[in-house]
């Protein structure tokens, strides 16, 4: 197999015809396919033997039991008989679980020209002895050992990467299921995993599988190698982030051997281990970690010091491994679209309301204060709002029934900087009691969904709008320069280009 043939499409249709349609749709992006015979309807299972002749590329045969995450609910003797029958069809690989004991089955598979993938599955987590078990999986030098384990959190991902390190140089298939294991799929080549399994978005065969079109066109899967520089965004939630689209398009446009991934993090201490294991060069930081990352930074720029929040981390070059240095691009990212909304310059004496007191609000409040604005900060808990009011020259009040009347006194600009309304909780309005007059400029930091319930109310009232994608793109320009020393090319905006200048209803 070449590097490009590592990407495998899992065929999970109910009929051979539907599997062949999927194969043709994704053929430009893949190098092999896996027919999941356990997904085929009862009358179609026998037809799986025809697939190797029709596919035009190597095919893996898998008949997965329910307890291993599949759909085959019959007896083990029936399953073995089915495997024995289908294996004669000329499959490149046949997947057998680690506990399969069927005399002569392996010989039958090899007689049909196939190679055995000996697999184990653990949906409870990453075993502490994973590397040891992987070494014991293969029963002969020709068998390819495979382990699919559930990465329940960042600590599990760190343990899985340790196993990759222990197994360096050995032929294997190793992957982390679930969102926390996403990096092990994209970086399969870099980590030394022989195959990356993928599925169409609507028909995932296992938790965390991505579709092959995304893996190849966005992450440039087939071009990732040992020299690929890794960047990423950390947050919780984070898998919805548009940052991978922006940065990866930028890398591609400039011909850089680099990739940018989302890392769902639930344990920041464990993430630093992950970052060292795969030598992450730069990190975008989103909620809830903009303040939590500060103790790990050996150097901070002036904005990080002033805000007490960091959204960009890069490896320093003064030590052997590289220590973390922090910067904040949120301030300029926030101001750039706001200047545009006001025709090129933000008016002095602007009276603005900011909703929310999290890490993003620090950048917003600092940015507005630096422009001479009078700011009212509203938050559900006064403790957080009071902390910012002590750091910056702003007024603070609780987000309660009295807040709408206060906000009307600071209504030239309304900034929604809380997480309310963000997917998966789209539809939540953080300030339903406020009635827009139509004279406000309304700035929503959330970018997915593009138009939140809050923004939609403002649009209907005739307000000028500034969208979260505009801030995301503006701050990404600064991050990209910090990561690479180069300017973010226009191609990086991709499908988001039309939203950059959308400041009117």
Tokens of 83: 């495997």
- Give Dmax over CA atoms of the chain in angstroms: 84
Are 284 and 311 in contact by the 8 Å Cβ rule? The answer is yes
Tokens of 241: 């982030």
CA angle in degrees (0–180, nearest 5) for 329-373-337: 40
Indicate which residues carry an active-site annotation. Answer: 290
Backbone angles phi, psi at 122, to 5 degrees: -135, 105
> Of 505, 500, 5, 488, which is closest to residue 248 (Cα–Cα)?
488
Are 134 and 167 in contact by the 8 Å Cβ rule? The answer is yes
Dist CA 359 CA 311 (whole Å):
9
Length of the chain, in residues:
505
CA angle in degrees (0–180, nearest 5) for 265-269-270: 65
> Of 217, 213, 219, 195, which is closest to residue 27 (Cα–Cα)?
213
Which single residue is written with the structure tokens 């990732």? Answer: 224
Backbone angles phi, psi at 126, to 5 degrees: -100, 115
Dist CA 499 CA 447 (whole Å):
10
Other CB atoms within 10 A of residue 116 CB: 22
Are 419 and 287 in contact by the 8 Å Cβ rule? The answer is yes
Mapped to the 3 state alphabet, what secondary structure does 324-336 carry? Answer: EEEECCHHHHHHH
Tokens of 78: 């029936």
Contacts of 169 (CB under 8 A, 6+ apart): 192
Dist CA 481 CA 76 (whole Å):
57
């Amino acid at each position: 197999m070449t590097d490009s043939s590592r990407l495998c499409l899992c065929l999970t249709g109910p009929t051979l015809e539907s599997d062949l349609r999927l194969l043709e749709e994704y053929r430009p992006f893949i190098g092999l396919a896996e027919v999941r015979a356990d997904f085929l309807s009862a009358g179609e299972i026998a037809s799986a033997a025809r697939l190797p002749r029709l596919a035009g590329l190597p095919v893996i045969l898998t008949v997965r039991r329910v307890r291993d995450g599949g759909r085959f609910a019959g007896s083990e003797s029936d399953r073995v008989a089915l495997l024995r029958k289908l294996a004669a069809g000329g499959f490149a690989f046949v997947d057998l679980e680690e506990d399969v004991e069927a005399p002569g089955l392996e010989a039958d598979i090899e007689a049909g020209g196939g190679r055995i993938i000996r697999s184990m599955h653990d949906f409870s987590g990453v075993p502490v002895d994973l590397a040891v078990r992987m070494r014991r999986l293969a029963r002969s030098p020709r068998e390819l050992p495979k382990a699919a384990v559930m990465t329940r959190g960042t600590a599990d991902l760190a343990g899985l990467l340790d196993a990759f390190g222990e197994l360096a140089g050995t032929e294997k298939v190793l992957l982390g299921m679930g969102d926390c294991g996403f990096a092990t799929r994209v970086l399969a080549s870099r980590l030394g995993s022989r195959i990356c399994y993928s599925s169409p978005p609507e028909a995932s065969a296992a938790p965390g599988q991505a579709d092959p079109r995304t893996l190849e066109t966005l992450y440039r899967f087939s071009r990732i190698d040992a020299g690929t520089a890794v960047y990423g965004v950390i947050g919780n939630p984070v898998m919805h982030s548009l940052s991978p689209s922006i940065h990866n398009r930028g890398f591609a446009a400039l011909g850089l051997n680099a990739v940018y991934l989302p890392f769902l993090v639930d344990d920041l201490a464990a993430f630093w281990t992950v970052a060292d294991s795969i030598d992450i060069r730069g990190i975008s930081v989103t909620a809830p970690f903009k303040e939590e990352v500060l103790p790990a930074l050996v150097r901070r720029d002036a904005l990080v010091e002033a805000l007490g929040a960091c959204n960009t981390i890069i490896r320093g070059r003064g030590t052997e491994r590289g220590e973390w240095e922090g910067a904040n691009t949120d301030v300029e990212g926030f101001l750039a679209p706001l200047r545009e909304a006001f025709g090129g310059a933000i008016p002095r004496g602007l009276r603005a309301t900011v909703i929310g007191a999290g890490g993003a609000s620090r950048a917003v409040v600092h940015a507005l204060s630096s422009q001479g604005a009078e700011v009212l900060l509203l938050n559900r808990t006064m403790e957080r709002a009071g902390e910012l009011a002590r750091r910056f020259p702003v007024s603070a009040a609780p987000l309660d029934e009295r807040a709408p009347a206060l906000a009307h006194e600071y209504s030239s600009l309304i900034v929604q900087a809380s997480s309310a309304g963000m997917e998966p909780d789209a539809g939540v309005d953080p300030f339903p009691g406020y009635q827009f007059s139509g004279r406000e400029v309304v700035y929503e930091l959330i970018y997915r969904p593009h138009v939140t319930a809050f923004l939609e109310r403002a649009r209907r009232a005739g307000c000028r709008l500034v969208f979260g994608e505009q801030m995301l793109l503006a701050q990404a320009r600064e991050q990209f320069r910090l990561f690479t020393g180069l300017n973010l090319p226009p191609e990086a905006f991709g499908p988001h280009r039309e939203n950059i200048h959308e400041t009117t209803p």
